[in-house]
């Protein structure tokens, strides 16, 4: 019994409750039912009418015989089956729709008229097609829009930004994943910035956002995801400095981000699909290709939502371009830490490195500001009250001459110690210029490029890695990361066992071998 049937059963029980609960004497039951049959009542379907005496007697008898559940309507035996239209006519209509999913009801009825001499009403036809999963939506012809779409009245009123996974690239003989960072103008659907990166963190957001503002000026507001990086103090400070309203997508409510999601889907369908089908690219090549696709294809074609080309609508919607000072924006993303200047060496320590400052500041408490994404050769020094005091330069306490000690007179023209110092500084710069943790962790004796080249050689690909597609390299990279025990012998074994000599079948056999060794 469903809710609707239960509502009707309760209705009949309420009408007959005086009899059911003994409030009416048995000999007066018939008279009570006759009186009840003359009084209009509101039925559960909203209609006001009088119940018939025979109906009331029948309901009362059912209740007394089988109880509450007996008052529910019985399901028809032929429910869902065609009654006014022959079964074979409906089956033929389903076959006609399945044969051509875009075939209209008018076209289907023309076929039925020609074959059987009769047609089926549109509502009846649709109901049976839907039950048979033969509608356009069920057959996969019509796909729902990704998300909700909305707009603004002028260009740069609102930018919408987001991250998304991109295709794999080949960098330094390694197959690495990429991440797409994009911003789209809400009014014109113009992509003000779109670029692939090897990371998905705050420095990528900074680079992407600054590139967009350097080219197009500042928007009135930006709308971004609710991820942690979009709540960083640096982004908030930059928006306040540029008078930009920062808006976040509500938690657990993805539809408002449909605008940027649709752009990303278009990039995936039209650009990334071509990239994945061809040879694997480097990061620079991938970004050049994306820029070319945006300029030649996306911005030049009429947008289905606005009915205009994004490039034309962008130009028409411009009312003002708000130029910004990039240096002020960069200040928002500077890291600030307090430090005390060493009295002996006149320097400050930052992440186990030392920076020489003005000797007059020895012993003072200062604020050090630096860009965490730079090479950190220099830092900026401020007082605790915000007054600029100068810069600090990276130096080595063990080799640099301490402050306050004059150099000895008569220095040699060619100083061997200076040569060592230069070499040492160059070595320190290389050591501190950045650590590739991926390489530090990777202690495997057999590198990935050798593994991929072995597979290419077994398949007869004469050009080695260059003959493998992006999808093939991505599949090989994923199975390569599953086990440290993959070696040349295991690859040859998988190749021999593969039903077809292709990358998917070799990967499948490798997975079986890895699982067998783990067990």
What's the pLDDT at 110? Answer: 93
Judged against a pLDDT cut of 80, whether residue 432 lies above it is answered with no
Judged against a pLDDT cut of 90, whether residue 377 lies above it is answered with no
Is 213 exposed, middle or buried (CB count within 10 Å of its CB: 0-12, 13-18, 19+)? buried
CA angle 290, 292, 295 (to 5 degrees): 110
What's the pLDDT at 437? Answer: 45
Q: How many CA atoms lie within 13 A of 86 on its CB side?
A: 9
Q: Would you place residue 88 in the very low, low, confident or very high pLDDT band (cuts 50, 70, 90)?
A: confident
What average pLDDT does this structure show over 298-307?
90
Q: Would you place residue 82 in the very low, low, confident or very high pLDDT band (cuts 50, 70, 90)?
A: low
The pair of structure tokens assigned to 9 is 């059963």
Closest CA to 98 of 111, 84, 81: 111
What's the pLDDT at 285? Answer: 94
* Residue-averaged pLDDT of the chain: 85
What's the pLDDT at 143? Answer: 64
Judged against a pLDDT cut of 50, whether residue 441 lies above it is answered with no
Calculated CA dihedral for residues 180, 181, 187, 188, nearest 10 degrees: -50
What's the pLDDT at 433? Answer: 53
- Rg of the chain over CA atoms, in angstroms? 38
Widest distance between CA atoms in the chain: 136
What's the pLDDT at 462? Answer: 82
Closest CA to 508 of 519, 497, 518, 517: 497
Judged against a pLDDT cut of 90, whether residue 341 lies above it is answered with yes
CA angle 49, 50, 55 (to 5 degrees): 125
Closest CA to 348 of 426, 333, 358, 405: 358
More confident call, 313 vs 136? 313
The CATH classification of domain 159-316, taken from the options 3.20.20.70, 3.40.50.1700, 3.30.420.10, 3.40.630.40: 3.30.420.10
Q: Would you place residue 150 in the very low, low, confident or very high pLDDT band (cuts 50, 70, 90)?
A: low
What's the pLDDT at 411? Answer: 59
Tell me how far CA of residue 57 lies from CA of 28, 35, 38, 300, in angstroms. Answer: 13, 13, 14, 75
Give phi and psi for 106, each to the nearest 5: -65, -40
What's the pLDDT at 314? Answer: 93
Nearest-angstrom CA–CA distance, 489 and 197 = 36
Strand order in the sheet with 378-383: 335-340, 365-370, 378-383, 388-395, 353-356, 347-350
Judged against a pLDDT cut of 80, whether residue 402 lies above it is answered with no
What average pLDDT does this structure show over 11-17?
88
Q: Would you place residue 389 in the very low, low, confident or very high pLDDT band (cuts 50, 70, 90)?
A: very high
Judged against a pLDDT cut of 70, whether residue 443 lies above it is answered with no
Judged against a pLDDT cut of 90, whether residue 304 lies above it is answered with no
Judged against a pLDDT cut of 80, whether residue 51 lies above it is answered with yes
What average pLDDT does this structure show over 362-383?
85
Angle between helices 448-458 and 503-518 (to 10 degrees): 120
What's the pLDDT at 255? Answer: 66
Ranges 126-135, 186-195, 251-260, 334-343: which has the least confidence? 251-260
Give 93-147 pLDDT, tens digit per residue.
999 999 998 899 999 999 999 998 889 998 888 888 888 888 887 887 776 545 4
The pair of structure tokens assigned to 473 is 């390299």
What's the pLDDT at 296? Answer: 93
Tell me the three state secondary structure of residue 420: helix
What's the pLDDT at 308? Answer: 92
More confident call, 206 vs 254? 206
Closest CA to 280 of 467, 465, 469: 469
Beta-strand ranges (E) seen in 109-204 are 159-165, 169-171, 174-176, 179-185, 191-197
* β-pairing verdict for 159-165 and 221-224: parallel
pTM beyond 0.85: the answer is: no
Closest CA to 248 of 262, 267, 232, 266: 232
The pair of structure tokens assigned to 185 is 């103008």
List the beta bridge partners of residue 336: 369
Written in H, E and C, the secondary structure of 352-369 is: CEEEECCHHHCCCEEEEE
Closest CA to 510 of 501, 519, 495: 495
Judged against a pLDDT cut of 80, whether residue 72 lies above it is answered with no
Tell me how far CA of residue 16 lies from CA of 28, 37, 55, 63, 73, in angstroms. Answer: 13, 11, 12, 10, 17
User: How many H-runs (helices) and E-runs (strands) does the chain carry?
Assistant: 20, 15
List the beta bridge partners of residue 339: 366
Judged against a pLDDT cut of 60, whether residue 222 lies above it is answered with yes
Give 466-514 pLDDT, tens digit per residue.
888 888 888 999 989 888 888 989 999 999 988 888 999 999 999 999 8
Judged against a pLDDT cut of 80, whether residue 435 lies above it is answered with no
What's the pLDDT at 283? Answer: 93
Judged against a pLDDT cut of 70, whether residue 404 lies above it is answered with no
The pair of structure tokens assigned to 182 is 């994009």
pLDDT > 90: percent of the chain: 32
The pair of structure tokens assigned to 460 is 């007869």
The pair of structure tokens assigned to 196 is 């692939």
More confident call, 97 vs 415? 97
Nearest-angstrom CA–CA distance, 452 and 454 = 5
Calculated CA dihedral for residues 99, 105, 106, 110, nearest 10 degrees: 50
More confident call, 322 vs 414? 322
Where exactly are the structural domains of the chain? 3-71, 159-316, 337-432, 443-518
What's the pLDDT at 409? Answer: 52
């Amino acid at each position: 019994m469903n809710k609707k049937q239960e509502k009707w059963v309760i209705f009949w029980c309420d009408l007959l409750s005086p009899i059911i609960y003994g409030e009416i004497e048995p000999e007066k039951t018939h008279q009570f039912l006759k009186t009840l049959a003359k009084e209009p009542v509101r039925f559960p379907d909203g209609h006001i009418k009088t119940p018939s005496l025979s109906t009331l007697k029948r309901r009362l008898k059912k209740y007394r015989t089988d109880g509450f559940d007996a008052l529910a309507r019985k399901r028809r035996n032929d429910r869902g089956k065609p009654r006014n239209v022959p079964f074979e006519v409906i089956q033929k209509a389903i076959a006609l729709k399945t044969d051509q999913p875009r075939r209209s009801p008018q076209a289907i009825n023309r076929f039925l008229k020609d074959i059987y001499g009769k047609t089926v009403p549109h509502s009846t036809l649709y109901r049976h097609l839907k039950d048979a999963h033969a509608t356009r939506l069920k057959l996969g012809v019509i796909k729902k829009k990704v998300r909700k779409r909305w707009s603004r009245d002028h260009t740069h009123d609102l930018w919408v930004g987001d991250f998304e996974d991109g295709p794999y690239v080949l960098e330094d003989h390694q197959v690495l994943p990429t991440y797409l960072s994009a911003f789209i103008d809400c009014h014109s659907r113009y992509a003000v910035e779109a670029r692939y990166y090897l990371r998905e963190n705050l420095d990528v957001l900074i680079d992407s956002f600054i590139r967009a503002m350097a080219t197009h000026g500042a928007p009135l507001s930006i709308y971004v995801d609710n991820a942690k990086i979009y709540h960083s103090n640096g982004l908030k400070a930059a928006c306040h400095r540029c008078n930009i309203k920062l808006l976040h997508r509500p938690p657990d409510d993805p539809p408002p981000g449909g605008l940027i999601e649709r752009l990303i889907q278009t990039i995936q369908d039209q650009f990334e699909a071509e990239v994945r089908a061809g040879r694997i690219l480097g990061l620079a090549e991938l970004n050049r290709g994306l820029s070319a696709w945006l300029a030649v294809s996306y911005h030049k074609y009429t947008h289905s939502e606005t009915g205009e080309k994004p490039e034309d609508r962008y130009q028409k919607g411009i009312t003002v371009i708000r130029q910004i000072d990039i240096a002020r924006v960069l200040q928002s993303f500077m890291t600030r830490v307090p430090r005390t200047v060493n009295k002996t060496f006149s320097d400050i320590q930052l992440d186990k490195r030392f920076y020489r400052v003005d000797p007059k500041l020895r012993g003072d408490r200062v604020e050090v500001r630096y860009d965490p994404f730079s090479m950190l050769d220099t830092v900026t020094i401020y007082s605790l009250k915000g007054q600029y005091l100068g810069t600090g330069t990276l130096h080595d306490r063990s080799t640099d001459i301490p402050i306050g000690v004059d150099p000895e007179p008569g220095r040699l023209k060619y100083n061997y110690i200076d040569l060592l110092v230069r070499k040492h500084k160059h070595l320190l710069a290389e050591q501190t210029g950045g650590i590739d943790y991926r390489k530090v962790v990777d202690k495997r004796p057999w590198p990935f490029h050798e593994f991929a080249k072995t597979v290419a050689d077994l398949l007869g690909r004469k050009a080695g890695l260059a003959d493998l597609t992006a999808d093939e390299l991505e599949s090989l990279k994923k199975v390569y990361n599953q086990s440290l025990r993959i070696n040349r012998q295991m690859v040859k074994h998988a190749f021999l066992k593969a039903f077809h000599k292709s990358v998917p079948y070799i990967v499948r056999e490798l997975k079986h071998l890895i699982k067998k060794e783990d067990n």
